[in-house]
Amino acid sequence: MDNIEIKNSMGNGAILTVSNVRVLRPFEVKELVKAIPQKYSKTQFEALLYSGCRYVELQRLKEKPDMYEQSNGRIHLNSYAIRKSKIKMKERYVILNPVGRRVIEAYIELEKELPDHNTWRNDLTRWAQLANIDGRRLSPKTTRKTLESWLVTTYPQLTNIIFLSQGHNALTALQYYVTLPFTQQDKLEMKEFVYGWEP
């Protein structure tokens, strides 16, 4: 598949990229989170990871926090939040697991805004260096692609619902996420991040 690039890593499995964007393995996420020096930046990173939202969508959520529906633990993204020119879905509900709900609630309470895309990309690269993990191809899309691939790997029976929650059609998601070569250790460790994700 020409949309998946695999490179050798430092003994912990291959580096995964999809469409030139890094997909993280669970051990890399753990090391990255530990290396982020500011608490608010950790919360921002985890909000992006656990929601799988596009960067701009999480920025819009900060502007309009009532899009997070605490009663059902979901984020209701409308066309204002999504703002993507080629978008097929004008609105959607983002499903969160219990940890994701807590993280999103903490994110909404933050005084700090997400920085611009370039600053976030530079931050990710710097934190990767501090964490002693390969920083190539990290971008604001990394957390989104990482969550979707983990969900599809852990809950293959829920693939269509995952795609809808993430705002992708089935063909797009099948092309990009279903066949990523995670190790058995990856599959075991990613369960702690996606546990409790259900429609």
Q: Establish if 175 belongs to a structural domain.
A: yes
Residue 78: predicted pLDDT: 84
Distance CA 189, CA 168 (A): 25
Closest CA to 82 of 148, 159, 165: 165
- Asked if residue 194 is part of any domain, the answer here is no
Over residues 69-127, the pLDDT tens digits come to 999 999 999 866 555 555 555 789 999 999 999 999 999 999 999 999 999 999 999 99
Q: Is residue 197 one of the residues assigned to a domain?
A: no
CATH of the domain at 26: 1.10.443.10
Going through 32-174 in order, the beta strands assigned E by DSSP cover 68-69, 74-77, 92-95
Taking only the tens place, the pLDDT of each residue in 160-186 is 899 899 987 666 656 666 678 899 999
Q: Rounded distance, CA 85 to CA 2, Å?
A: 25
Does residue 139 lie within any of the structural domains?
yes
Domain carrying residue 125: 4-187
Local confidence band at 8 (pLDDT 50, 70, 90 cut-offs): very low
- Please report whether residue 88 resides in a domain: yes
Scored b (16 or more CB within 10 A) or e, 137-158 reads: bbbbbbbbbbbbbbbbbbbeeb
Q: What is the mean pLDDT of residues 23-47?
A: 97
165 and 92 in contact (C-beta within 8 Å)? yes
**pLDDT tens, position by position, 114-165:** 999 999 999 999 999 999 999 999 999 999 999 999 999 999 899 889 989 9
In a domain, 15, yes or no: yes
| Distance from C-alpha of 87 to C-alpha of 89, rounded to nearest angstrom | 6
Secondary structure (3-state) at 32: helix
Q: Is residue 147 part of a domain?
A: yes
What's the structural domain count of the chain?
1
Query: Is 192 inside a domain boundary?
Result: no
The whole-model pTM stands at 0.89
Q: Which residue has the tokens 């895309």?
A: 117
